[in-house]
């Protein structure tokens, strides 16, 4: 663009001073002619870099999800193919479910036995409680008779023998009540504490069974998001384990983020919502519209980790870092395929001096056309 402006300026100078000779070509005019482009280009460049800053470092980043199985075992199936898109919930691979299925069956049997034993104890407790209640009723009746016989004997109308027999019945019933209460207490202790409406042993087995069923479900590993499995080296017969450092497969998400890196003094006028354009070599000749989402005012040079090591300042000042500006694609280009790791150029158009934005837009479009050129000899 600068060459085009200079060429246009040179043509105007030639027409004025040489073709039509409208002005004399002397020392004064020569100084003016040579000064105008220098000052003009310097001013234009300064204004462009402030109010329509450009970046030669635009990056496309996609998140990668390491797929770590929750259970270990031998792989029996890998239905996916490398470099093919997958949807959320698609099967990535399957682990041999046999040991986990057997564990589920064993716990189901234990649960059935525990529930049966628990039901039997509950029936025994009901019978013991009923016997206790019946014995207590008999005892109350016997005590009432003893009281009546005592009153009759005291009045001379009762038999002392019948009073003694009634007292013996009371003692016998008291023994039966104590035995029945002890039996009921013993059964209650066997039933134990209650957790969530279940006897403690039953609740424990149910929890183990739920865990075993969850382990069994994890033998089928599903994709957590829409994306692409780029490098598939896992094969049936391989062994996988639940260890984060040994992820057998990784899914590259379809969702991407675009960042343009700028030096800090270029971002003074940049604000969220500003218009932006980017060009990528993967789309030669195409101008991809975007908007500024935010400026990330943070970088590695401004962070410190909590360690016992004294920070090293070095013998020379650190190289000034750049700050990323996150860009969101505009509606017309949201469906554009963006490759992970793609790099390109871009520009942001602030809300100031919009008249000079046309210069930056022309430069960006020229860069986009140059992406058609493949300059190599091998």
Q: Give the residue, 274 or 186, on which the prediction is more confident.
A: 274
Question: Please, what sign has the CA dihedral across residues 31, 37, 43, 45?
Answer: negative
Q: CA-to-CA distance for 224 and 66, rounded, in angstroms?
A: 10
pLDDT of residue 197: 47
Residues 209 and 290 in one domain: no
Residues 170 and 230 in one domain: no
Residues 279 and 353 in one domain: yes
DSSP for 27-82, written as a single string: HHHHHHHHHHHHHHHHHHHHHHHHHS-EEEEEEEEEEEEEE--SS-EEEEE----T
Q: Tell me the two tokens of residue 366.
A: 């020229």
DSSP for 190-240, written as a single string: HH--EETTEEHHHHHHHHHHHHHHHHHHTTEEE-SSSEEE------TT-EE
As a residue count, the chain comes to 378
Mean pLDDT calculated for residue range 165-191: 67
Neighbouring CB atoms inside 10 A of 280's CB total 21
Decide if 313 is inside a domain. no
Stated as kind and residue range, the H or E segment containing 186 is helix 160-191
Pairing assessment for the beta strands 54-67 and 249-263 based on DSSP bridges: antiparallel
Phi, psi of 223 (to 5 degrees): -70, 130
Residues 113 and 26 in one domain: no
Q: CA-to-CA distance for 62 and 252, rounded, in angstroms?
A: 7
Percentage of residues in the chain having pLDDT higher than 70: 77
Identify the CA nearest to 277 among candidates 363, 369, 358, 348. 348
Decide if 267 is inside a domain. yes
Mean pLDDT calculated for residue range 310-333: 75
Query: What 8-state DSSP symbol labels residue 290?
Result: E
Residues 193 and 171 in one domain: yes
Mean pLDDT calculated for residue range 79-86: 90
pLDDT of residue 98: 94
Residues 123 and 64 in one domain: no
pLDDT of residue 132: 76
Q: Tell me the two tokens of residue 12.
A: 């105007």
Decide if 308 is inside a domain. no
Neighbouring CB atoms inside 10 A of 135's CB total 19
Decide if 311 is inside a domain. no
Stated as kind and residue range, the H or E segment containing 294 is strand 288-295
Q: Tell me the two tokens of residue 70.
A: 């929750």
Residues 205 and 169 in one domain: yes
Residues 176 and 272 in one domain: no
Residues 196 and 126 in one domain: yes
Q: CA-to-CA distance for 153 and 75, rounded, in angstroms?
A: 91
**Each residue of 113-159: pLDDT tens digit?**
876 666 665 666 676 677 677 777 777 777 777 676 676 766 666 66
Decide if 312 is inside a domain. no
pLDDT of residue 157: 64
Q: For all residues of the chain together, what is the average pLDDT?
A: 82
Alpha helices by DSSP H, 230-306: none
Decide if 378 is inside a domain. no
User: Which residues, at least 6 apart from 166, have a Cβ–Cβ distance to it below 8 Å?
Assistant: 142, 145, 146, 149
Domain count, the chain: 4
Pairing assessment for the beta strands 288-295 and 322-329 based on DSSP bridges: antiparallel
pLDDT of residue 195: 39
Residues 354 and 340 in one domain: yes
Decide if 106 is inside a domain. yes
Q: Where is average pLDDT lowest: 129-133, 238-242, 342-346?
A: 129-133
Decide if 152 is inside a domain. yes
State the residue range of the domain holding 238: 69-96+219-246
User: Domain of 77: which CATH number?
Assistant: 2.40.50.100
Q: Is 252 exposed, middle or buried (0-12, 13-18, 19+ CB in 10 A)?
A: buried
Mean pLDDT calculated for residue range 237-256: 87
User: Domain of 63: which CATH number?
Assistant: 2.40.30.170
pLDDT at 309 over 70: no
Phi, psi of 143 (to 5 degrees): -65, -35
Residues 86 and 104 in one domain: no
Q: Tell me the two tokens of residue 336.
A: 């554009």
Residues 159 and 106 in one domain: yes
Question: Please, what sign has the CA dihedral across residues 114, 120, 125, 126?
Answer: positive
Burial 259-279 (b: 16+ CB within 10 A, else e): bbbbeeebbeebeeebbbbbb
Mean pLDDT calculated for residue range 76-95: 92
């Amino acid at each position: 663009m600068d060459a085009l402006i200079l060429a246009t300026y040179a043509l105007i100078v030639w027409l004025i001073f040489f073709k039509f000779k409208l002005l004399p070509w002397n020392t004064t005019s020569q100084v003016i002619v040579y000064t105008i482009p220098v000052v003009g280009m310097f001013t234009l460049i300064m204004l462009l870099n402030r109010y329509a800053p450009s970046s030669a470092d635009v990056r496309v980043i996609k998140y990668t999800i390491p797929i770590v199985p929750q259970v270990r075992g031998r792989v029996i199936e890998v239905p996916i193919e490398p470099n093919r898109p997958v949807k959320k919930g698609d099967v990535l691979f399957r682990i041999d479910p046999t040991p986990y299925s057997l564990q589920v069956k064993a716990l189901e049997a234990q649960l059935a036995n525990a529930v049966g034993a628990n039901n039997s104890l509950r029936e025994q407790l009901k019978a013991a409680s009923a016997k206790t209640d019946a014995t207590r009723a008999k005892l109350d009746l016997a005590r009432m008779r003893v009281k009546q016989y005592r009153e009759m004997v005291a009045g001379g109308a009762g038999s002392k023998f019948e009073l003694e027999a009634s007292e013996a019945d009371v003692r016998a019933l008291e023994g039966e009540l104590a035995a029945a209460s002890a039996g009921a207490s013993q059964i209650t202790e066997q039933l134990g504490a209650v957790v969530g409406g279940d006897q403690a042993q039953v609740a424990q087995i149910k929890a183990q069974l739920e865990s075993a069923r969850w382990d069994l479900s994890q033998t089928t590993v599903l994709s957590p998001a829409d994306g692409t499995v780029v490098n598939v080296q896992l094969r049936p017969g391989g062994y996988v384990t639940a260890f984060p450092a040994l992820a057998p497969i990784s899914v590259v998400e379809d969702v991407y983020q675009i960042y343009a890196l700028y030096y800090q003094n270029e971002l003074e006028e940049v604000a969220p919502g500003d218009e932006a354009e980017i060009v990528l070599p993967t789309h030669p000749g195409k101008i991809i519209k975007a908007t500024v989402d935010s400026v990330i005012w943070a970088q590695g040079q401004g962070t410190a980790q909590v360690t016992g090591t004294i920070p090293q300042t070095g013998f020379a000042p650190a190289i000034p870092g750049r700050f990323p500006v996150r860009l969101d694609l505009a509606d017309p280009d949201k469906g554009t395929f963006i490759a992970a790791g793609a790099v390109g150029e871009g520009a942001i158009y602030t809300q100031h001096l919009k008249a000079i934005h046309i210069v930056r837009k022309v430069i960006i479009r020229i860069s986009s056309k140059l992406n058609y050129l493949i300059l190599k000899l091998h």
